[in-house]
Amino acid sequence: MKILHVETGRHLYGGPQQVLYLCAGLANLGIDNLLVCPPGSAVGEAARTRGIEVVNLACAGDLDMRFAWRLRQLLAEREPDIVHCHSRRGGDFLGGQAAAMAGIPAVLSRRVDNTEAGFISGLRYRPFRKVVVISAAIDAVLDAAGLAGDKRIIIRSAVDVDRFAVKPSHATFRRLFNLSPDDFVLGSAAQFIARKGQRYLLRAVAELRQRYPQLKLVMLGQGPLEIELRALSAELGLANVVQFAGFRSDLDDYLGCFDVLAHPASREGLGVIALKAAAAGVPVVGFRAGGLSEVIVHGKTGLLVAPGDVQQLAAAIGSLVDDRELGRVYGRMAVQRMREKFSVKRMVDQHITMYESILNA
Domain check: are 133 and 229 in the same one?
Answer: no
pLDDT tens across 238-274, in order? 999 999 999 988 899 999 999 999 999 998 988 899 9
Residue 47 near residue 9, CB atoms below 8 Å: no
Q: Could you tell me which residues are beta bridge partners of residue 48?
A: none
Res 184: pLDDT: 97
Domain check: are 143 and 242 in the same one?
Answer: no
Domain check: are 18 and 167 in the same one?
Answer: no
Domain check: are 152 and 289 in the same one?
Answer: no
CATH number at residue 114: 3.40.50.2000
pLDDT at 137 over 80: yes
Which residues span the domain enclosing 300?
A: 161-341
Domain check: are 276 and 325 in the same one?
Answer: yes
Mean pLDDT confidence for 74-96:
90
Mean pLDDT confidence for 200-215:
97
pLDDT tens across 182-193, in order? 999 999 999 999
Res 119: pLDDT: 66
Q: How many domains does the chain have?
A: 2
Domain check: are 175 and 70 in the same one?
Answer: no
Domain check: are 144 and 216 in the same one?
Answer: no
3-state SS assignment for residue 361: coil
Res 118: pLDDT: 65
Q: Taking all residues of the chain, what is their mean pLDDT, rounded to a whole number? A: 93
Pinpoint the alpha helices (H) of 29-149: 42-49, 65-78, 93-102, 118-125, 136-144
Instruction: Give the count of beta carbons closer than 10 Å to the beta carbon of residue 297.
Output: 16
pLDDT at 324 over 90: yes
C-alpha torsion 187→227→314→218, nearest 10: 20
Stated pTM of the model: 0.86
One-character DSSP codes across 310-329: HHHHHHHHHHHHH-HHHHHH
pLDDT at 89 over 80: no
Rounded to an integer, what distance in angstroms lies between the CA atom of residue 179 and that of residue 185? 8
Query: Exposed, middle or buried by CB within 10 Å (0-12, 13-18, 19+), for 77?
Result: exposed
Domain check: are 348 and 273 in the same one?
Answer: no
Residue 109 near residue 135, CB atoms below 8 Å: no
For residues 150-174, b (16+ Cβ closer than 10 Å) or e, as one string? eebbebbbbbbbeebeeeeeeeebb
User: Which helix (DSSP H) or strand (DSSP E) does residue 356 occupy?
Assistant: helix 344-359
Domain check: are 148 and 220 in the same one?
Answer: no
Mean pLDDT confidence for 82-89:
88
Q: Report helix angle 272-279 to 14-28, nearest 10.
A: 60
Rounded to an integer, what distance in angstroms lies between the CA atom of residue 269 and that of residue 271? 6
Band of residue 160 on the pLDDT scale cut at 50, 70, 90: very high
Domain check: are 187 and 140 in the same one?
Answer: no
Q: Report helix angle 93-102 to 118-125, nearest 10.
A: 40
Query: Exposed, middle or buried by CB within 10 Å (0-12, 13-18, 19+), for 176?
Result: middle
Domain check: are 199 and 222 in the same one?
Answer: yes
Domain check: are 351 and 268 in the same one?
Answer: no
Q: State residue 74 phi and psi, 5-degree precision.
A: -65, -40
